[in-house]
Structure formats: structure tokens, C-alpha cells
Structure 1
């Protein structure tokens, strides 16, 4: 059974001109432990699809399930990470990471132990007592990932988490994410605009089309894990990148007013 199941998911938004269909009968299964990236032109509804999986938006039609149970709102089994770090600026790294555990009523000693473990996991051990303003962009994102990991979600939903980073930091964050994923094999749904990133991270790349949002194609990435710079430079990677690029960019532009 799929960990995440999208069944004929449709989403309409009301506009001053009457309405906009952001997603049109999207169906997709994401298996337990699978790393899936979703890429597509601006306005194709990628973030809307993730928002529905997170329980932050309701579908107009269709259904999303997690372990066969319908999604009715946010849940602790789904950790959500956005491009904006959304850290509490007055809290240290450790306090930010502990926050979800504190809200859940986890005893102090246990939540501190868990926070230390995930801070170590993302490589921020020496910055546990630092405030967010003293961190680089990549370190802030690692803190956001640690906060999501702290509550031990089965699923990570990531909406362009590296989009605001410089290219070198972005590559390092991709490698750090894959290193963490290889150890725990959580189910990951990762939204990106970047074709190279989509291919490098994923076991499958879902390419979406606009007018309105729907699945254009699903491309298997048959590169072995762990991924390395050698894979990035390989002919196999170049071929896959070309296939995804063609699927994404040889499409009509999204209509004016389309959602993300």
C-alpha cells in the first residue's frame, strides 16, 4: 500500500474573474521510504499539491490518504519544511528544535535528548546554543530540517527548501539531506523548480503540467544511492536531466493568474 495516495485530487480557487482550477484530477502513489521530487513550470500547482498532502489546504474534489487514512488536517506523521525557515528568532537552535516536542507535551529531559540527537544528525552540534541571526542560510535550513525530524515524522513534505540558497550551499544541502535520508529512509515528497536537483535527489521525478495542474509524466531515476559528484557528471545523469528538462520546458506557459 502507498504511504501517500492522491486520488483524483482537484483544487479550485475563487478569483475575481470567477475561478481558477489549480489541480485537475491528480492521482499519484508514493511508496513507503520513497524519495519523490515534483517539478514543473511555474503555476502548475506543485505547492498546492503539497499543501493538500500536508493538510494545510482542502481539495475541492478527490482525496489524499496517508497509510490509507484520509488526510483531514495537519498531523505529527507529516513534517513540513518550506523555503522560508520560519524559525523563532529569539530562540536558540536547540529551543527551536525542541519546540514541537514541547507543544506535544514531551517531558523536558526526553525532548532535550531528542533535540541533541537530531541536531547532531544535521551537523549543527557546535551551534546548538546559537540564535538564528548568527547562522548562514544553509545552517538555518538545517535547523528547520532538524525541527521537523525531532517529532519523528514518517513523511517529510519539502516545498523548495533550498530555493533561496546559493548554488554551492544548495549542493551541500542536497548531499546532507540524502545522507540523512539514507540512514532512516523516511518517505519524502520534495517540490523544486530545479531540474538538476530533481534528478539528483529522487528515485522518481514527477513532472507536472499546467492549464490546469496535472501530471505530465513520471520518470524513474535509475542511478544508485548513495549519489555523488560522479553521478552528477555521468552520461546517465545527463540523459535523465535532458528527459526531465524536455518534459518541463516543452510545455505551454501557465495561464496568467495560475497558482504556484
Structure 2
């Protein structure tokens, strides 16, 4: 069931893969809606179809049945309104930070002066202005990921699809980038779907946490996080955070004996 305010709508999506003698069902009748400017995290056990779901929304995979919509239009291919950020930074090693951020603008014919202005804005937004002329090999992992985020922002997508973007980083860098991402999102809001295997990260970032069940992948639980809550160290150490974390943890790792939620339970703003 969809809502009229949904920015992203996933409607009864099933995805199977042909493995030769058998088929594997990665997603089974998944439905969810995400509202404009909402920050949603998706968490679940290995094999729950998190990345498959994101690839369908990115236009990199097609559903076996059902459909995915963005602004009411079916997703059939990648599009400029969807910025995609993976765990691997995928930066061009021979280009500087500025040139990497400008790349998508150059390919779409944005004039040089505007290209430079927009690149500088987003480089500053992610705190890399001192490294605009640096090559990726001279940057830390966290700085490279910030460059990838700036590059995705520069083409002005209304949606960011992020597949475990901080998964390969050390714990301290990860926390700093979580805070940086939320700061960036609060200044220049996008609709964000953020996939993670880290329960703490899912709770800290989200307005809503979607918990997936595995084999086959389906929506198992939806947990709201008060969007008015300030995300800082005090929140991480609060009883509110501990309660939410425990609920998400239990939903992810103790799924025996329960069935997935009806598809209407994952509606935007629910």
C-alpha cells in the first residue's frame, strides 16, 4: 500500500536469481514507502536482500515481479535524481578531489564556472576544502568517502542511496562520518536510504529503521526514531538510544518464531 507523499515506493517486489539447477529468492513481496526528506536505514542479517533492494532502486537490477517507483515513476535504469554511494569509494585515482567532484557535472555539460562553484560548495560542505587539489591516494579512507559523498551531492540528486558506505572504516572515523553525514543532510536535505549491518549506526542515523528478515528477504520490523532527537554523543549514551538499540538488535538477531510484517506496516511516516 502506497501513500501519496511517498518519494520512494517499493510495491510487492520479489527478486529471484537463476542459479542453474535452482533459483534463489533474494526478496519476497517487499513493500515500503519512504517520504521526501526522510532518512531511513535498512539493517538485517546476512542474505536478507539489503543490497539487492538498493540495486533495484538504483536501477542496476530489475524486479522479477512488483515494481519500484521514484516520484511516482517506475525505476527502470539509473537516473540523475538518485545518487549512489557504495562501500568502495570508486574515485578516479588520477583526478584530484575537485576534479572527482566535478566529474558528473562535466559529463552532463555543466559550464566550467558553474561546475567549479558547485564543486567548491560541496567540497566545503563535507569539510575537504583544504584537500581540493589532493589526489585520492593521499587521503585517508574517511576523506575518500567524504569525497564520494560530495561527488554524489554535486549532481543535485533528490535521493541518496548508500550501501554500507562506512563499513570498511575504523570505529572512530566511522562515528565522525556518521555525524558529518547528518550535518550535511540537515543543511542540504535529501531523501536517504542507508544500508548497514551495524545496529548502532542504523539507530543513530535514522528517522526509521527497517529491519529485514533473511531467506527470503522481506520486511520484518519497522522502528521509529524521534526525528526531533538531536544526534550527538549524549544521544549515543542515553537510555533512549539503548532501548532503541536493544529493540533493533533483538529484531535482527532473534527472528525465530515470528513472521514478517504486513507490507502496509512499512509506509512512509508510519
TM tier, shorter chain? over 0.9
Q: Which residue of 1 aligns with 2:101?
A: 97
8 Å CA contact 1:46–1:191 kept in 2: the answer is yes
Q: Which residue of 1 aligns with 2:7?
A: 3
8 Å CA contact 1:223–1:231 kept in 2: the answer is no
- The number of aligned residues is 252
Q: Which residue of 1 aligns with 2:73?
A: 69
In the alignment, structure 1 residue 53 sits paired with structure 2 residue 52: no
Normalising to structure 1: TM-score of the pair?
0.95
C-alpha separation between the residues in 1 aligned to 2:130 and 2:207? 33
Cα displacement (A) at 1:211: 1.8
In the alignment, structure 1 residue 178 sits paired with structure 2 residue 182: yes
8 Å CA contact 1:182–1:226 kept in 2: the answer is no
Residue 122 of structure 1: which of 119, 126, 134 is its match?
126
C-alpha separation between the residues in 1 aligned to 2:187 and 2:210? 24
8 Å CA contact 1:90–1:131 kept in 2: the answer is yes
Q: Which runs of 4+ in 1 moved over 4 A?
A: none
Residues 72-221 of structure 1: pairs in structure 2 closer than 5 A:
72-221=76-225
CA 1:226 to 1:182, structure 2 compared with 1: closer, same or farther past 3 Å?
Answer: farther
Secondary structure at 1:3's aligned position in 2? strand
Q: Which residue of 1 aligns with 2:20?
A: 16
Q: Which residue of 2 aligns with 1:37?
A: 41
CA-to-aligned-CA distance 1:100-157 (integer Å, 9 cap, x gap): 0001011111111100110000000000000000000000000000000000100000
Structure 1 gap ranges (5+): 253-260
Residue 28 of structure 1: which of 28, 32, 41 is its match?
32
CA 1:96 to 1:6, structure 2 compared with 1: closer, same or farther past 3 Å?
Answer: same
Residue 231 of structure 1: which of 227, 230, 235 is its match?
235
C-alpha separation between the residues in 1 aligned to 2:169 and 2:135? 19
C-alpha separation between the residues in 2 aligned to 1:145 and 1:205? 21
C-alpha separation between the residues in 2 aligned to 1:44 and 1:192? 12
C-alpha separation between the residues in 2 aligned to 1:120 and 1:250? 43
C-alpha separation between the residues in 2 aligned to 1:53 and 1:64? 6
Normalising to structure 2: TM-score of the pair?
0.92
Q: Which residue of 1 aligns with 2:260?
A: none
Cα displacement (A) at 1:15: 0.3
Cα displacement (A) at 1:225: 3.9
CA RMSD of aligned residues (A): 0.9
C-alpha separation between the residues in 1 aligned to 2:75 and 2:41? 20
CA 1:206 to 1:35, structure 2 compared with 1: closer, same or farther past 3 Å?
Answer: same
Cα displacement (A) at 1:82: 0.2
CA 1:49 to 1:94, structure 2 compared with 1: closer, same or farther past 3 Å?
Answer: same
C-alpha separation between the residues in 2 aligned to 1:223 and 1:122? 22
